[in-house]
Amino acid sequence: MRKNVFLRCIVILLFVILFTTSFVSATEDNTNDNANLQIGNSDIYFSLKNDYYDLVSGIQNDDEQFATYLTQKENYLAYFEANNIIYDAVNSLDAESLSQEIVITQSTNSTIQQVYNLKMLSSESLDEFSSTFISTLKENVSSSFEDTTFLSEGTYTSASGDIYLYLVFSATVNESPMQLAYYCSIVNGRANLFTLQYLSSVSDEEMHSVINAFSYQERDTTLSFMVGLVFFLIFIGILVFFFFMMRKKKDKDVPVEYNEKYNRFGGFLLLYFVLLILNAVLILFDFITVIAISSVSTIFLVTFVLQDAMTLGILIYNAILLWKKKEETPKKVIRNLSLLAIVTIVLCLLRIVYSFFDSSYVYSTAYYAQEMILIIRNVLYATIWICYFRKSVRVKSYYREVKK
């Protein structure tokens, strides 16, 4: 008797954990740290706070502060996209008092992909790369600006440990003398070019202090490979597990004796029905939230919508099956639970594989952990209830699957 009570407590605890994690997943809201804000969907973060006004996000979000710029919104957005500009900040929205601007462009090519991160280069390789890069940059500057005078150049390591190649020069822009500085970093296989523009002369230390406000969320290629390998092994293990679990062994198919005591809708069967309804409501809210998202890649949006739609359909279908009280109900519920686990595995792995080839965004360890938790939770959920519907005396008695 004590053994049965102990087992029931363990099962109930598992259900509470599964339900709690489902609720947290459906209601989770990722917030940014105000002191370390992310620039769009890039891998760059900054802590400039309220000292600058970002034209890109302000115009995209129709911020009333940028009313003057919004009159030509489409032209600005087209310009940002054509020049790969992800951040364009000014120190004033008043044209007469504007004296400083920071523009960040982000791009990649095969050479940059091979370098991947400047911090990975040896000192000799970095010097060689810096010399070639700055020489090319000077040629471009000389052909693009008038009255050019080069002031300083070299490499700079920011407060966060990121390496930049920089070139400071003065030139005439729109008939006005200006001081400009180019800072270039290569992180996560992408070149980030920071253009600092001043109407007056400033020191290198002042410009370095601006660069110190930026940092990166780096992607560890070794970690990504290990995560992919772990997911692959988990996938193979789950397939093997399901293969053996779903096999029908005739020598173990011994009919359970009919028990009148359990010929009613209650116990864990009632608990499963209640959880079906609650999970369906949570998935419905999650489904609505996902549809409203427009900033993620199409493949992510499609797979998330498909996953939520199929999960919601399976939950509702299982609830209807339980209510009908037919002899084939347990077999259909088991089949649907298996389908739920398989769909989750396939779609999660599809997103993970895609993330390794997607250069438009940096996927952190937290993202891969989230996908892993989703797979484990759904497989554990399906496994527990499949075992229950196969072995439960109440299920067999209520749906008359036994021989009287």
Q: In this predicted model, what pLDDT tens digit does every residue of 43-77 receive, in sequence order?
A: 898 886 667 899 999 999 999 999 989 999 999 99
More confident residue, 113 or 35: 113
Q: Which residue has the higher pLDDT, 116 or 209?
A: 209
* Residue 403 belongs to a domain: no
Q: Domain boundary residue among 216, 234, 267?
A: 216
Same domain for 228 and 207: no
CA–CA separation, 9 and 233 (whole Å): 31
Final residue of a domain: which of 190, 216, 242?
216
Q: Supply the CATH number for residue 211's domain.
A: 3.40.1000
How many Cβ atoms are within 10 Å of 309's Cβ, its own excluded?
Answer: 14
> Cβ distance 102 to 87 under 8 Å?
yes
192 and 237, same domain (yes or no): no
Residues 175 and 240 in one domain: no
Domain hosting 340: range is: 2-32+220-398
Of residues 287 and 19, the one with the higher pLDDT is 287
* Most confidently modeled range among 1-5, 182-186, 363-367, 388-392: 182-186
pLDDT at position 262 is 62
Q: Residue 39 falls within a domain, yes or no?
A: no
- Same-domain pairing of 117 and 199: yes
For residues 232 and 227, give the distance between their C-alpha atoms in angstroms, rounded to a whole number: 9
| pLDDT above 60: residue 23 | no
Q: Count CA atoms within 13 Å of residue 195 on its CB side.
A: 18
Number of folded domains that form the chain:
2
> Six-digit token pair at 333?
């519920």
Tokens encoding 372: 């892993």
HSE-up of residue 151 (Cα within 13 Å, Cβ side): 15
Please tell me whether residue 137 adopts helix, strand or coil conformation: helix
The answer to the question of residue 37 being in a domain is no
Residue 124 confidence (pLDDT) above 80: yes
Asked if the structure places residue 353 within a domain, the reply is: yes
Whether residues 57 and 163 share a domain: the answer is: yes
Say which range, 268-272, 309-313, 356-360, has the weakest mean pLDDT. Answer: 356-360
12 pLDDT higher than 80? no
User: 401 pLDDT band (50/70/90 cuts)?
Assistant: low
For 293, phi then psi, to 5°, come to: -80, 135
106 falls within a domain: yes
Query: How far is the C-alpha of 187 from the C-alpha of 74, rounded, in Å?
Result: 30
Note the pLDDT of residue 131.
Answer: 92
* Of 365 and 371, the one with more pLDDT: 371
Query: 84 and 232: one domain?
Result: no
Structure tokens, 142 = 């000389």
Q: Are residues 84 and 188 in the same domain?
A: yes
Average pLDDT score over residue span 294-305: 72
Q: Which DSSP category does 212 fall into?
A: T
Full-model pTM: 0.54
pLDDT at 17: 43
Count other C-beta atoms under 10 Å from residue 209's C-beta. 13
- Cα–Cα distance measured from residue 90 to residue 88, given in angstroms and rounded to the nearest whole number: 7
Residues 87 and 205 in one domain: yes
DSSP 8-state symbol, 20: H
Phi-psi region of 174 (alpha: psi -120 to 50; beta: other; left: phi over 0): left
Residues 68 and 186 in one domain: yes
Comparing 189-198, 221-230, 250-259, which segment has the lowest mean pLDDT? Answer: 250-259
Across the chain, mean pLDDT equals 79
Same-domain check for residues 234 and 200: no
Pairwise CA distance, residues 204 & 196, whole Å: 11
Q: What are phi and psi of 180, to 5 degrees?
A: -125, 155
Share of the chain above pLDDT 90, in %: 28
Asked whether residue 86 carries a pLDDT value surpassing 90, the answer given is: yes
Which is more confidently placed, 245 or 368? 368
Q: Of the residues 184, 216, 248, which one is the last residue of a structural domain? A: 216
Nearest in space to 322 (alpha carbons), one of 282, 264, 383: 264
**pLDDT-based confidence at residue 234 (cuts at 50, 70, 90):** low
Q: Tell me the per-residue pLDDT of 216-232, one tens digit each, with 9 for 90 and over.
A: 987 765 555 566 566 66
The reply to whether 81 and 163 lie within a common domain is yes
Residue 65 falls inside a structural domain: yes
239 pLDDT more than 70: no
Q: Please report which helix (H) or strand (E) contains residue 325, including its range.
A: none
Question: Does 185 reside within a domain?
Answer: yes
pLDDT band at 381 (very low <50, low <70, confident <90, very high): confident
CB 286 within 8 A of CB 22: no
Q: What is the mean pLDDT of residues 24-45?
A: 60
Q: Angle 186-190-212 (CA atoms, 0-180°, nearest 5)?
A: 45
Answer yes or no: do 190 and 161 share one domain. Answer: yes
The answer to whether position 392 is within a domain reads yes
- pLDDT in the model for residue 31: 37
